[in-house]
Structure 1
Amino acid sequence: MDGHYCTRPHWAKSWEDIPNIKDYLHGLLKERTERFEKVRKNYDPNGMFFDNDSIRYVFYGSP
């Protein structure tokens, strides 16, 4: 995925096994995820509702 078309997976489908998808999404959505994180910290400061490993990787990059 070269980012030319800014494609995104269907979040409800199985997308985690697409090669390099997590790094691709992390780069593609970085600005949006940073803004979301500022809001999320106000409503979920302990990360109670943000427990999906794949989504966390997209937001924060490699563990």
Structure 2
Amino acid sequence: MSSNNDDKPFNDAIEHQQKNEGYPKPSEGKLPLPIRLSGYFLFGGIVLMILLGLLGNILF
């Protein structure tokens, strides 16, 4: 196999997809900051409530 043919599309549908949609960049896989922060607070709050509930159930 030659390495220079790796980026050539093998049919018209793939070529169309590459031209119009492109390949996703690794840096674009992140969510926007407000969505990430709300997710951190949501899941962090859930974990904190579970831990406090378990601790309260054991102690009281």
Higher relative contact order (CA 8 A, sep 6+): 1
User: What is the TM-score with the length of structure 2 in the denominator?
Assistant: 0.30
Larger radius of gyration: 2
User: What is the TM-score with the length of structure 1 in the denominator?
Assistant: 0.29
